[in-house]
Homo-oligomer: A and B are copies of this chain.
Amino acid sequence: MTAVPLRVAILGAGNVGREVVRAFVEWPERLQTDGGPGLELVGIAVRDVDAARRRGLPSELLMDAPAHLVADPDTDVIVELMGGDEPAHTLVAAALGAGKSVVTANKHVIAHHGPELEATARRSGTALRFEAAVGGGIPILGPLAAELAANRVTAIRGIVNGTTNYILTAMTDEGCGYNEALAAAQAAGYAEADPAGDVEGHDAVNKLVILARLAFGSWIDPADVTTSGAMDGPGGGRPGITGVTSREVAAAAADVMVIKLIASAQRSGQRIAASVVATLVGRDTPLGRTAGVTNRIEIDAEPLGTVAFSGPGAGGAATSSAVLGDLLAIARGAGSTWAGLPFAGRLARLTR
């Protein structure tokens, strides 16, 4: 047992990063482990140091060179909360290669570079944890890897993108059209100025790929996941929810159904079938009743049966819970999110 705390550097201080910093400043007692080392925040890399200072982040920790924090021999754990592909991917890979543990909420980097990052982390014997990448603060990846480890998971399905669910809920409850609902979501801060990543299904695909890694032991290529439904189904064959019309929503309601963007993966013999498509579900089913930015993930497993996890799937405070839990896990010596599971390479082919 060492009393020397692990030195933590945070890359990115947006919605999630700010809440992680707040925990270090306001509730340091919650970041203690029993017997293990503590956690000490030693640096925060942001794009604009002055702006971050004005938002109240601790001046003495701010800097604008994330690569320096990764290379610095005085950091032990890197928390990557920049999002997007580069430079996040290179920084995560460099940290793992240098033997530093990494916590990230970056679903894109994990889904698109997972096989390479897993190989690097295993080779260097460091921990890569990413509970925050799926379902915000809902515990889901850890339970798949630990409590459910003895099961054979047969299927996963869920609502894992809050933006699209907010838009579909608005179209259903308020009868507005897709463009109007999208604009409302943007005004409320639930959709980005360029909403393609959410509304075309890519964000949900990334989360499904990560869920499938834990549930099925293989990395699916995100490009192999179907994002367009049937031409005669909801959305008329267009990707994600971009083709969903108010007429389709009304027709569904007449049948006591709602349209939801359902991420789904199931075993099909030796293969895995995976899709993220606008889908008709019963209005009074648990998925049909999942409204707004709530997420819900259902797991079918043997011998367990079906279990479901629901809660706030996005938001800085909720997501910080998962990042902080991963930091505590590293302080407890828990290893990577997949610790205990066999190495997973890229799945060669995918059944659509």
Contacts and interface: CB of A to CB of B under 8 A. Distances in A.
Interface stretch (A29-37, A92-100, A238-246): A29-37
In order of increasing CB-CB distance, the 6 nearest A-B pairs are A150-B324, A307-B311, A139-B147, A139-B143, A304-B321, A303-B317
Given A34-B343, A307-B312, 13 more contacts: A30-B152, A31-B150, A33-B340, A137-B304, A139-B139, A139-B146, A139-B148, A148-B325, A150-B321, A308-B308, A308-B309, A308-B311, A332-B339
A303 B146 contact: no
A320 interface: yes
A341 interface: yes
A329 interface: yes
Residue of A142, A147, A312 with highest tally of chain B CB at under 10 A: A147
A304 B311 contact: yes
Contacts of A143: 139, 142-143, 147
A339 B33 CA distance: 9
A147 B151 contact: no
A295 to B, nearest CB: 10
B303 A19 contact: yes
A34 B343 CA distance: 8
Contacts of A342: 34
A75 interface: no
A150 B317 CA distance: 12
Contact of A307 (B36, B131, B139, B328): B139
A325 B149 contact: yes
A73 interface: no
Interface residues of A, number: 52
17 contacts: A23-B150, A34-B339, A137-B303, A138-B307, A139-B146, A146-B146, A151-B321, A303-B320, A304-B311, A304-B312, A304-B317, A304-B321, A305-B311, A307-B311, A308-B308, A328-B340, A334-B334
B305 A312 contact: yes
Interface in A172-193: none
A307 B304 contact: no
A9 to B, nearest CB: 18
Contacts of A307: 137-139, 309-312
A306 interface: yes
A119 to B, nearest CB: 14
Contact of A30 (B19, B151, B311, B339): B151
A178 to B, nearest CB: 28
A288 B247 CA distance: 32
Interface in A95-148: 131, 137-139, 142-143, 146-148
A172 B23 CA distance: 45
A23 B309 contact: no
Given A31-B150, A150-B30, A312 B306 contact: yes
A321 B303 contact: yes
A173 to B, nearest CB: 15
A82 interface: no
A146 to B, nearest CB: 6
Contacts of A33: 340
Nearest to A36: B340
Interface string A284-315: 00100000000000000111111111111001
A49 to B, nearest CB: 25
